[in-house]
Amino acid sequence: MVTNLFSIRSAAFLLLALMTTLPTAAGQSPNNPLLKTWDTPFGVPPFDRIDAEDFEPAFEIAMDQHLTEIQAISVNSEPPTFANTIEALENSGKSLNRVQSTFSALTSSATNDELRAIQARMAPLLAAHSSMITLNADLFARIDALHKKRDSLGLDDEALRVLELTHKNFVRAGAMLQGEDRERLAAITEQLAGLYTAFSQNVQNSTEAFALVLEDDDDLAGLPNFLLSAAAQAAQERDLEGHVITLARSSFEPFMTFSTRRDLREKLYNGWTNRGDNDDEFDNEANIRQILMLRLERAQLLGFEDFSSYRTANTMAGTPQAAKELLDEVWVGALAKAKDELDRIRKIMQNEGADHELRPWDWWYFAEKARAASYDLDEDAVKAHLSLDNVLVAQFAVADRLFGIKFSERRDIPTYHPDVKVWEVKSAADEHIGLFYGDYFARPGKRGGAWMSALRSQHNLGDGATPVIMNNCNYNKPAKGEPALISMREAEVIFHEFGHALHGLLSNVTYDSISGTAVDYDFVEFPAQIYEHWMRQPEVIKEFALHHETGEPMPTELIERLKAAANAQSGFDNVEYIASAFVDLAFHRITDPEVLADLDINSFEDGVLSQARMPKAIDMRHRSPHFLHSFAGELYASGYYTYMWAGVLDNDGFAAFEEAGDIYDQSLAKKLYEYVYSAGNTRSAMDAYIGFRGRKPSTGPLLRNRGLEVKSQE
């Protein structure tokens, strides 16, 4: 998952990112570290000198500076040129950008009550600031004048692309609206910013409010050593005795998989699925209704039937119908596979004398038994060979072999938490490329999930800037002196997020607005998902999956069992994912605001899933009240389908390496670098994919690799 840490020069315009202004601060202290020149290595944020109280005055001054820059562009008496309008726009807002990116890093990964309060106050102000720019009539007149004569300006391809995208995204932000419609659009943007913040904070507060305390030995029945160690550490961090299971996925899923206590599995499952839906101060249902109503109103102001049509109009899919058709195609095979899995599980339950119906909190537990019976796969044995440190070495080594880049740890870079590590990235010629931050452990104050973000994006305009990229995950922190052992799926997530990181680190474009991950949102997952494939390759596993005690490589027979079991839960995984994508699309296809005003969120979910013939033993991956992808911002709103869309691309794309017979084939790696990882948004997503692959993508490899091919009935 990508989190766009704010970029005025790029995502603000491209994704309706949220910003606006305050009066200049009177008597502001000159010692505010956010406003001074950063004398840190490579000019990174001085996290060790920044206090929460520094942010609001820094935002205030930086926003005022930005508006002054925008005003200078807008009222320039010279005729508009690419340099005095588009390049000037690209160069504006640098102070605001670095304040916002620093703030976003802390509110995502190391927040507290003070930062949450600032975030809630600033979100609508920043949104209004964004509207004042995108709805600036004089500024848009200059952009529009350039756009009308773009073919006669003599621009190179990249500059022409920037001009076209800037114009398109100002239009999508409402620049062509007039009068009351312009004012209403600005108000909607401001309201949504506050709602997104409230939704996200409710999810985090609801998540942190839950802890399953295991009080005696009976509560620990069935739990493997790696989970017992992590649960003891979680209890210690919360000043509790014994063991604690949290709602971090790395804690939740192993407990659901191995605990023999069905009552505790049900309790934990209800805590998980009811985040943001407990009829308390952290309840998100009213926020969802308001978000959906405002999104619909904005889409209709801009001439679209519904929000989903607005969101997909600027993507590879093009329409919500095309996105739904892809999901439907995969759904058929996923349902068939899930029914096969369900039959195997019921046989296991029958053999064990279980006299209850299979419920969602039983699935992981009995699915693991079915997997163990079919593939003789011991999760403890797998984890013993997958230390976090070795997986990080593996992700760096694969990047070196594909793209010729080196990673070396730097201990002189200030960070916001002791868990965070920083690596310098260099080319094969020993030239500095950028910095990479890794923050891998769950803790209070850090939001759940895994994501990539940018403290600074790459660009070559003027003095240019090298990228500073971050990965965050939420794995169980081991006891002091013990290694962090992770599952194969968790190792794949590390590779996934690092694929996003490489998209930012390897970017080599002139303009910040098209740098790195600033691509069509249904293409943004492709560089991450294709990188996952390398973690699954026997060559990589044999070299880097080393036993944490003996240093011995993972045995060949265990690797073969891992490969054989790769699709053991493919039906479940795809059904729970597609179910969430179905609901996400359906919410945003509603065209009647009165329907949204009275919408019962739970009933709507049930209706969508019933129509799709969702198995009762499986739930959607993300219920709406905690669905951050859909309701904590707009990058994935009505766009959760993008993981499947990118799945088609990544399976088809990696098949090129398989066909070449070399997972490090240098001719393919060069094309992957040239057309994808370094290219940003310099060309359309489909053109980028075809440039790498030589043709349009096929769904065949995805269906085959996930075991979802449906045999024809003859």
3-class secondary-structure state, position 712: coil
Q: Nearest 5°: phi and psi at 245?
A: -100, 130
Cα distance between residue 590 and residue 573, in whole Å: 27
Tell me the Ramachandran region of residue 103: left when phi exceeds 0, alpha when psi lies from -120 to 50, beta otherwise: alpha
Tokens of 307: 């929000």
Which H or E run includes 410? Answer: strand 405-410
Query: How distant, in Å, are the alpha carbons of 104, 111, 289, 443, 693 from that of 117?
Result: 13, 10, 23, 20, 48
The vertex-307 CA angle with 303 and 313, nearest 5°, equals 70
Look-up of token digits 């192993």: 254
| Burial class of residue 216, CB neighbours in 10 A (0-12, 13-18, 19+) | exposed
Closest to 214 in 3D by CA, of 266, 271, 264: 264
List all residues 6 or more positions away from 596 whose beta carbon is below 8 Å from its beta carbon: 289, 292, 293, 296, 590
**Alpha helices, H only, 219-319:** 225-237, 249-258, 262-273, 285-301, 307-312
Q: Collect all residues with Cβ–Cβ distance below 8 Å to 431 and sequence separation of at least 6.
A: none
- Single-letter amino acid, residue 472: N
Among 490, 497, 576, 605, the active-site one is: 497
Give the span between the Cα atoms of 257 and 253, in whole angstroms.
Answer: 6
Count of CB atoms situated within 10 Å of the CB of 589: 17
Q: In the annotation, is 78 catalytic? A: no
Backbone phi, psi, residue 673, to 5°: -65, -50
Q: Report the chain's C-alpha Rg in angstroms.
A: 25
Q: How far apart are CA 218 and CA 216, in angstroms?
A: 5
**Three-class HEC string of 124-144:** HHHHHHHHHHHCCHHHHHHHH
Annotated catalytic residues are 497
